Amino acid sequence: MKANQNLLPSDKKRKRIIKTKLKTNPKYGKKPDERETKELLNNGLINLDKPCGPTSHQVDAWLKDIFKNDKVGHSGTLDPNATGVLPIAIGDATKALHALLSAGKEYIGIMKLHKQVDEKKIITTCKKFIGSISQVPPVRSAVKRVKRKRHIYYLDVIEIKEREVLFRVGCESGTYIRTLCVDIGKKLNCKAHLEELRRTRVGNLSEEKSYNLQDIKDSYYFWKENYSSESIRSVVMPMENITAHLPKIVVRDSAVDALCHGANLALPGVTEVDSDIKKGEMIAILTLKGEIVALATTTMITEDIIDKDKGVCAKLERVLMKKGTYPSIWKKS
């Protein structure tokens, strides 16, 4: 059971508000969990438990070979020696991976202090890093080494054994835990470094429901040899899971194809909307069957989306559904 303060942005609870009650036409589209296995393997998400040793890009290459698909990518690179949750997208689902950047991440690590420090001082100092912090990426990073701000949602000291500190941290995407340990060491007036690191969560993806490479390879083999599709369907999730943490707007069937052609979302197309949506927030636009249509940025808050009848409520960022999945009713009007 998590403490109340140990929450990532993905843990925020929202209510679905019905603006107009409508039914969907069963002739078009398909509920995500009703897709055929081949469809799933070209629009899927895997919650991979990355092993120690390979780089994240090497893992991508192995999965490309397993699935015989060149479109495989990950979200949130883990160092070779780090283990844990590595979200992997297959096929067209790679287009949605950047949505996970706003989900938040959790790690458990061991920080090694270079000299003995009082336990109370360690705990007090770690608490000071909760909130907004500034970091300079480490020398061996793939990004430009300039100071940038990141948010630490929680930082708990689990156990201290001599100079080793076992900790749990929830943080914004792009936070360097190695750098965090170095900065904590400076505050303690002793050097410190990251000894071990495991990622336990990326948004709603947790280590408890992750799969290793052998699990994935075996599941794919069983399916290809016509033994069973059940195992591969448990390993590969619909791409909609990438956007599970995002607020949602649900649209009527007649609005879907216009969005697939790049039209921004106008209020007449909205049938349901999540609570507490703010302006400028990334959202997922869904069909009444729960299919992801597109990622978009809101131009209105929830209350305005519900109360108003005219205007654009969201500007499209990326279309994820293929054109023609729903009929082009909008062209006739």
Look at strands 292-298 and 312-319 and give their pairing. Answer: antiparallel
User: For the chain, how many residues are written?
Assistant: 333
Q: Say if CB 69 and CB 90 are below 8 A apart.
A: yes
Q: Which of the following is catalytic: 79, 253, 257, 274?
A: 79
Strands, E assignment, the chain: 16-18, 43-50, 72-74, 83-91, 105-113, 131-135, 148-161, 164-171, 192-202, 205-206, 236-238, 248-251, 265-266, 270-274, 282-286, 292-298, 312-319
Nearest 10 degrees: CA dihedral of 2, 6, 10, 11?
Answer: 50
Instruction: Count CB-CB contacts under 10 A for residue 298.
Output: 23
The token pair at 295 is: 């990622």
Angle at CA 219, nearest 5°, toward 218 and 220? 90
Q: What angle do the packed helices 56-67 and 213-224 form, to 10 degrees?
A: 10
> Does the annotation count 253 as an active-site position?
no
Q: Where on the phi/psi map is residue 183: left (φ > 0), alpha (ψ -120 to 50), or beta?
A: alpha
Q: Say if CB 89 and CB 69 are below 8 A apart.
A: no
Q: Say if CB 177 and CB 194 are below 8 A apart.
A: yes
Instruction: List, by residue number, the catalytic residues.
Output: 79
